[in-house]
Structure 1
């Protein structure tokens, strides 16, 4: 019996690990205070939204729910490895071809379990990045609360003591609080955008690598199944001797080579956008780039050398009046109250911007 053949004896780093070094072990693999069952999941999820600043409660709950997801994936990885070992043990008592193939299938399934365990470590990088947004949200909440408290005190004093000298002092404090809050809100906006893109880039890169490698293993598993002779035999007939030991060993070796040499640039599955989606996405990226680079004003002060393009002052005045009338009719009002952020930086809802034709 050619048994106990491991996929990798030395566990040399793969090409993907050399290109993108693996992260440290997941923080969820230790310190399980509430256990790993359904009760622990519910306690973590519900407790996350009950404490902490109001601004960070929803994201705190998301972070805890992701920890539950990771704990579940850890359990799946562990149980898949146990299933792989049990499959190999069961195959020992079968015919030679079934015994050899089930042993090699156990090797492949065990490798999937290890890939899932590695995926948990990379998934934790995403969760930790999202936690940093939550921490920023929690740090912004005090400035919001201070500004709101001063505003309430001013309103109360104006109602009870309209001539109180404390109103002037509080209004000065409110100006400072608003400036402080403005800086904090800008920081929160910038960091949120930066971190959310980084977090989900971690997750999607890890998911892509994991799924591609699982697909590779599944393909070689199908090749192994072809080594089993499933031709029906009549009672008393003896099957031909099994001669596929070297073939199964070669299939496992090919699978190992494919997993070792896999890199993201050579991924088999690619996401292709439609023409419409690609055009709209490119337009959005161009708009972002134009805002970041600013407008080109280099030609605004170029002297006019064309004398024929000049016009009389009266005619020019009429042209200006027509232009201003059109602007007044078409231009939207840019009041702070109408903006999405409002007076105190709080979002009033998500409004989708219309896409220009």
Structure 2
């Protein structure tokens, strides 16, 4: 029997790919000088905050930790594909046609999950790369902070040692210029941090949303495949009815392929049910459009008779 190891013979763009073109190959899959082991993970995490400007060190650690996460997902994706092949290989040796066919098709679905995890890494990397842009702007702001602090320390030192030194006036003028430069840099840091933080986590949550919904779809079709497997007990010597699910299992795989191909983020079935939202004029409103007062909500719960009698 022919064994199938992939849901699609050729990877044509899905509806989501056409709506939002996939990102380039993840940086964790290229320019790799070290392995994927836990020692490398630890080295990356421990050394990330040891170098570079102090302002950018905490975010640098986060960026490196996210690289560890992506390497781990890559390992899981590869293992998932190998498990899928082994499941199909095991079923191939079965004397039961239904077990052989169902395990083959289940292996296809598991292999597809591995492929989705591999694609998820590339999209998740967009989140990590965007965080790196915040880290870079933090690093660029640090020198202006250091310069302002250095001039301030020099002025304080001269005022203590040489109160009448003419250098104090020169340094105070430099301090004014340094403070002006620092104000510009700090404003740029604030603006870029907010912009990039929202963009970064939009990348992450969109990729998580797509991945989880597609895995849920595959799980549903996997359970449909299991319905083809006759698990009715037979007595010794009794002959089980011949398996007739080949066409049905192929159709289930085809339906799964169509569902994954046509899925888009706009058509996602899982959506948050928010009781409040941000109003265009500022503040928050509830789901009926009324102004939301968190203190009022707290008072309502506090005076609830059922709560008091509990």
Give yes or no for TM over 0.5: yes
**2:125 aligns to what?**
124
In the alignment, the residues of structure 2 paired with residue 228 and residue 266 of structure 1 have an alpha-carbon distance, to the nearest angstrom, of 32
User: Is 1:91–1:98's contact at 8 Å kept on the other side of the alignment?
Assistant: yes
In the alignment, the residues of structure 2 paired with residue 31 and residue 66 of structure 1 have an alpha-carbon distance, to the nearest angstrom, of 17
2:257 corresponds to 1:227: no
In the alignment, the residues of structure 2 paired with residue 355 and residue 261 of structure 1 have an alpha-carbon distance, to the nearest angstrom, of 41
**1:48 aligns to what?**
48
In the alignment, the residues of structure 1 paired with residue 32 and residue 12 of structure 2 have an alpha-carbon distance, to the nearest angstrom, of 31
In the alignment, the residues of structure 2 paired with residue 255 and residue 21 of structure 1 have an alpha-carbon distance, to the nearest angstrom, of 22
Worse overlay, 64-73 or 29-38: 29-38
Query: In structure 2, which of residues 278, 287, 301 is the aligned counterpart of residue 282 of structure 1?
Result: 278
User: Is 1:45–1:65's contact at 8 Å kept on the other side of the alignment?
Assistant: yes
User: Is 1:45–1:61's contact at 8 Å kept on the other side of the alignment?
Assistant: yes
In the alignment, the residues of structure 2 paired with residue 5 and residue 135 of structure 1 have an alpha-carbon distance, to the nearest angstrom, of 43
User: Is 2:225–2:252's contact at 8 Å kept on the other side of the alignment?
Assistant: yes
**1:175 aligns to what?**
176
Worse overlay, 10-19 or 146-155: 10-19
In the alignment, the residues of structure 2 paired with residue 246 and residue 355 of structure 1 have an alpha-carbon distance, to the nearest angstrom, of 58
In the alignment, the residues of structure 1 paired with residue 235 and residue 58 of structure 2 have an alpha-carbon distance, to the nearest angstrom, of 66
Q: Secondary structure at the match of 1:287?
A: coil
Q: Which runs of 5+ in 2 are unaligned?
A: 285-292, 297-310
In the alignment, the residues of structure 2 paired with residue 246 and residue 193 of structure 1 have an alpha-carbon distance, to the nearest angstrom, of 53
Aligned residues: 287
Matches within 5 A, 1:248-287: 248-274=249-275, 278=276, 281-283=277-279, 285-287=280-282
User: Is 2:5–2:111's contact at 8 Å kept on the other side of the alignment?
Assistant: no
User: Is 1:2–1:245's contact at 8 Å kept on the other side of the alignment?
Assistant: no
Per-residue CA deviation, residues 137-177 of structure 1 (Å, 9 max, x unaligned), is: 00000000000000000000000011111000000000000
2:16 corresponds to 1:16: yes
Give the ranges of 4+ consecutive aligned residues of structure 1 lying more than 2 Å apart after TM superposition.
1-6, 30-34, 285-289, 354-357
Q: TM-score, normalised by structure 1?
A: 0.78
Rate the CA distance shift 1:125–1:241 in 2: closer, same or farther, 3 A: same
Tell me by how many angstroms 1:4 deviates.
2.5
In the alignment, the residues of structure 1 paired with residue 257 and residue 40 of structure 2 have an alpha-carbon distance, to the nearest angstrom, of 38
Matches within 5 A, 1:299-310: none
Q: Secondary structure at the match of 2:21?
A: coil
User: Is 1:2–1:100's contact at 8 Å kept on the other side of the alignment?
Assistant: no
User: Is 1:143–1:180's contact at 8 Å kept on the other side of the alignment?
Assistant: yes
**2:59 aligns to what?**
59
Per-residue CA deviation, residues 21-64 of structure 1 (Å, 9 max, x unaligned), is: 10110000123323110000000011001111000000000000
User: Is 1:92–1:99's contact at 8 Å kept on the other side of the alignment?
Assistant: yes
In the alignment, the residues of structure 2 paired with residue 150 and residue 355 of structure 1 have an alpha-carbon distance, to the nearest angstrom, of 46
Structural RMSD (CA): 1.6
Q: Secondary structure at the match of 2:242?
A: coil
**1:345 aligns to what?**
none
Q: Which runs of 5+ in 1 are unaligned?
A: 290-353
Q: Secondary structure at the match of 1:119?
A: helix
